[in-house]
A = this chain, B = another copy of it.
Amino acid sequence: MLDIQTKLNPVPFTRVRIDDPFWMERSRTNREHTIPAIYDQCERSGRLEALKLQWREGEPKPHVFWDSDVTKWIEAASYSLALHPDAELEKRVDETIDLLASGQQPDGYLNIYFTAVEPGKRWMDLKDAHELYCAGHLFEAGVAHFEATGSRKLLDVVCKYADYIAQVFGSAEGQIQGYCGHPEIELALVRLYRCTNNRSYLDLSKYFVDERGRQPNYFDSEKEARGGTPAYFEHYFSAPGRQTTHDYSQSHKPVREQEQVVGHSVRAMYLYSAMADLAEEYNDPTLMDACKNLWNHLTETQMYITGGIGSSEGNEGFTDEYDLPNDTAYCETCASIGLVFWNHRMLHATGEAKYADVLERALYNGAISGVSLSGKSFFYVNPLESHGQHHRQEWFEVSCCPANLSRLLTTLGQYIYSEGEREAAVNLYVQSTGELAVNGEQVKLRQQTNYPWEGHVAVTLELGKSSEFALKLRRPGWCSRVEVSVNGEKQPASVEKGYIVLDRVWNNGDRVELEMEMVAERIYVNPAVAADRGRVAIQRGPVVYCLEEADNGPGLDKLSLSPEAPLNVKFDASLLEGVAVIRTMAQRPIEQDWAGKLYANKRGRSENIEVSAIPYYAWDNRQPGAMLVWIRESS
C-alpha cells in the first residue's frame, strides 16, 4: 500500500493539452478576441503611451494601477504564446516589454505613476497607491514571459526591481516596515522565488505577510507621516457602519489571528493565496490554520452559489455573515478568479478535494460569467439577479477584470492534474491529455469527457512501462452517486479526502471510467440567508442555472417554481454555443385578476407555464434583460 499523503504538485499548463468541447471554444475566443481586444483598449486608453513616462499636466492622468493592466496582459499573452505561437502577438509582447523596460530607473524602480505623475511621492502611500501591487503584477508577467518563451528579457528587469524593493522594505534600520494596501506582491514574490530560486524573494514575501496587521498599524503611521491626509478611495473603505478602514485591506490584525473574511474581496483572495504559498514553503501550520479558518468562514457564510464573493459595492467586498443580496451582489469577476487561485493552493497544500469543489464552482459560474461568449465584453460585477440594467462592457475605468480572466483561461490546464511521488490526480474533468511524472516515470493521462454536460469520464493511461501508483479521481461535492470501473470492471469507489483512490499496478492502455450521476437539482440555502428564503436555485453538475428574460419574458420574480415538477434537461447545440437547457413548470400570477387592486383577501389565481433555465455563466449574451438565479418556490 502506497502512502497517499505524499505531496501533490499541480501539473503546469504547459504539460496539458486541452481538447475539450466546452473549454476549447472559450480558449480560442480568448486567444483570438480577448487578448487582442485588451491590447487595443490599453492602447486606446493611453495605458501603453503612459509607459513612455511622457505624461504632462493637462493630459489624461495615468491611474495608479495602469501598469498592472498592461503587465497582466503581458502575462496572458505570454502564456498564450507558450501553447500557440503567434509571431504578431510575440512582436507586440516584445515591444510592450521594451517600452516597460525603458521606464526602469537606475535603482531598479519601475512604476508609471510615481515616475511620470508624482515622482516625489514614491512609497508614501502604500495603503492606497497600489505601488507594490503593480510591482507584483509586473513580477508575475516576468515569470510568465520567461516560462513561456525562455527569454530573460523581462525577468531580468523584474529581478532588478525586486532586488531594489528587498532593500527598501524590511525590519532593518532605514528600511520601510510597511506592506501594500492591496496584497498581490506577496504571491508574486513566491512565484518569482520558484522561478529564480532566489530565496530573498520568498523571505520578502514572508516579511510582508508577517508584518501585515501588526500594531501600531503601518497605514496609520503612514497617514500621520503624510500629515493625516489620506488619499484615494477613502470612500471605499468600509461597508456601512460595520468594518473599520483596516478591515478593508485585511490589515486590521496580524494574519494568523484572522478568522473571518473581511474587506475587499480581491485583496483577501490574493492575501490568502500568498498565505497558503508561504504555509507550504515554510511548513508553517499557523498560516495554514488561518487559511482553513478563513476558508470555513467564507464558504459557510459569505460565498454565493456561483462562487461569487463580496456582497457589497461599498467596500467591493465582504459584509455580514449570511448577507448575500442578489441584485446588489458585487461579486467582482477578479474575486472569483482569486477564489480559484487560493483554492488551487489549498488543494495542493492539503490534498483535500473540497478545495477543488470551490475552485470548480467559481470557475464554471462566477468567473467565466465575467466575459461574453464573443470574448470582447466583460462583467466587472456578477449579480445573481438583474432587472435588465446589467450589460457587459468592452472596458472599464478600473479595468482589472478582463486581463485577469484572460490569464486564467490561458493557464486553465494547470488546474486539471496533480502529480506526486506515487500519485496522479485528476482534479477537473476537462477533455485533455496531461503528461505527469509519477515514480520518476512519465504517466500520460488521456481524459475523454463531455463535462460539464455529461457525467461520464474515461481516463486512458499511457505508460512507458507498468507502474504501481495511486490514481486519484476527484469525486465532486455536487455528485450523489458515482460508479468507477477499470478496463470495464467495476471497482469499489473508496474515497479519501474527496478523491476516489485507485491504488494498483497500472499498465499501458488501462482505461478507467467514471460515471457520475448528473441530475438537475433544486438547491436550498441556509435559512440565515434572508435574500433567498422561500427560493430555490437550480444546479446540474457544477453548473448553476438562471432564468433569463430572453427565454421567459419579463417579470421573472413574479414566477414561482412548482416544487414537485421534474427538471428536464436537454442539450441545445444551437443555443449560446451549446448549453444544456433545463425546463420545468412554474406558476405565473394572472395579472388581470389584480387590475386596479393592490390588496385582496384571496390569493390571486396563477397559470402554469413552462420555464427555461440556462447556465448562469452564459447570461446576457442576447438582448439585455432580467435574470434570476434564486427563484421563488410556489406554496
Contacts and interface: CB of A to CB of B under 8 A. Distances in A.
Interface of A: 296, 299-301, 303, 305, 480, 521-530, 533-534, 537, 539, 557-558, 560, 563, 589, 591, 594, 596-604, 632-635
Contacts of A301: 598
Given A524-B603, A603-B524, A300 B533 contact: no
A601 B476 CA distance: 14
Given A534-B635, A633-B635, A635-B634, A599 B560 contact: no
What 7 pairs between A and B have smallest CB-CB spacing? A635-B635, A527-B589, A526-B594, A521-B601, A527-B558, A633-B635, A534-B534
Contact of A596 (B300, B534, B537, B563): B300
Nearest to A535: B534
How many copies of this protein are present in the complex? 2
Contacts of A598: 299-301, 303, 525-526, 529
Given A300-B596, A557-B533, A560-B534, A601 B523 contact: yes
A527 B634 contact: no
Contacts of A594: 526-528
Interface hub of A480, A526, A589 (most chain B Cβ within 10 A): A526
A558 B600 CA distance: 24
Contacts of A560: 533-534
A371 to B, nearest CB: 25
Nearest to A519: B601
A158 to B, nearest CB: 40
A586 to B, nearest CB: 13
Nearest to A633: B635
Contacts of A300: 596-598
Given A534-B534, A635-B633, A600 B524 contact: yes
27 contacts: A296-B596, A299-B598, A300-B596, A300-B598, A305-B599, A521-B601, A522-B601, A523-B599, A524-B599, A524-B600, A524-B601, A524-B602, A525-B598, A525-B600, A527-B558, A527-B589, A527-B594, A527-B604, A528-B594, A530-B557, A533-B558, A533-B632, A534-B635, A539-B601, A563-B635, A633-B635, A634-B635
Contacts of A526: 594, 597-599, 604
Contacts of A632: 533-534
Contacts of A591: 527-528
Contacts of A527: 558, 589, 591, 594, 604
Contacts of A528: 558, 591, 594
Given A524-B604, A525-B599, A528-B594, 11 more contacts: A303-B598, A480-B601, A524-B601, A526-B604, A527-B591, A527-B604, A528-B558, A533-B557, A533-B632, A537-B599, A633-B635
A417 to B, nearest CB: 27
A480 B601 CA distance: 10
Nearest to A361: B599
Nearest to A525: B599
A557 B601 CA distance: 21
A29 B563 CA distance: 51
Contacts of A634: 635
Nearest to A560: B534
A608 to B, nearest CB: 15
A533 B533 CA distance: 11
Contacts of A299: 598
A233 to B, nearest CB: 22
Contacts of A635: 534, 563, 633-635
A17 to B, nearest CB: 34
A589 B525 CA distance: 11
Contacts of A563: 635
A428 B597 CA distance: 23
A254 B583 CA distance: 51
A55 to B, nearest CB: 35
A603 to B, nearest CB: 5
Contacts of A521: 601
Contacts of A534: 534, 560, 632, 635
Contacts of A537: 599
A383 to B, nearest CB: 15
Contacts of A604: 524, 526-527
Contacts of A523: 599-601
A237 B530 CA distance: 31
Contacts of A296: 596
Contacts of A533: 557-558, 560, 632
A63 to B, nearest CB: 27
A351 B530 CA distance: 45
A530 B534 CA distance: 14
Contacts of A525: 598-600
A80 B604 CA distance: 46
Contacts of A603: 522, 524
Interface hub of A305, A537, A539, A601 (most chain B Cβ within 10 A): A601
A563 B633 CA distance: 14
A539 B600 CA distance: 11
A491 B516 CA distance: 74
Contacts of A601: 480, 521-524, 539
A52 B560 CA distance: 63
Nearest to A327: B530
A526 B555 CA distance: 13
